[in-house]
Amino acid sequence: MEKVISTIENLYGEEIPETILFQKNGQLYLWEITCYSSLDYNLGHCQCVNHFPSDERPVSTQYVIEQFGKEALDGFEAPGLEQHVFNAFGVGLYELETFLRVSYMLNVNPLPILRRVTEFPVVFSENTVGLTFPEKEPGTFVVNSHGEISMI
């Protein structure tokens, strides 16, 4: 799904998207024009050789709500694991799993720092997909020694 959040008028009088919210694999991303003189978007004469004319980045659900209101999320599918990880830790799933793998490879326990940066519970179990912790509430992150993370 893709939703145009705001538009801008280019030099030809056409309304073009300025900000777009979209979802890929359950993760929210925000695309925005960053050069308002960009020739690429018919906004001016800048060739954008030394910078990009637009930017795309993952965003948290909370950021979307704060910036654009809760209604901006209407029509999007339920958040996936990648979105939950980004919301909780502020990094992508791949980056977090890399951190976990390297930590365990260096024989360092990453769970205390993960618990410090989020209000969600984080537990260890070699079985990240089973119900090792049936008493844990939904929203609990489960980590194993291979650097994999899942969510109950």
Q: Which long-range contacts (CB under 8 A, 24 or more apart) does 48-56 make?
A: 55/31, 56/29, 56/30, 56/31
List the one residue out of 77, 3, 83, 9 whose CA is nearest residue 42.
9
pTM for this predicted structure = 0.84
pLDDT 10s digits, 65-99: 999 999 999 999 999 999 999 999 999 999 999 99
Side-chain-side CA neighbours of residue 106 (13 Å) = 9
Query: Which residue is associated with the tokens 């050789």?
Result: 49
Backbone angles phi, psi at 72, to 5 degrees: -65, -25
pLDDT 10s digits, 14-64: 999 999 999 998 899 999 999 999 999 999 999 988 999 999 999 999 999
Give the DSSP per-residue string, 38-62: BTTTTSSSB--SSS-SEEEEE--HH
pLDDT 10s digits, 95-117: 999 999 999 999 999 999 999 98
Note whether 89 and 120 are within 8 A (CB). no
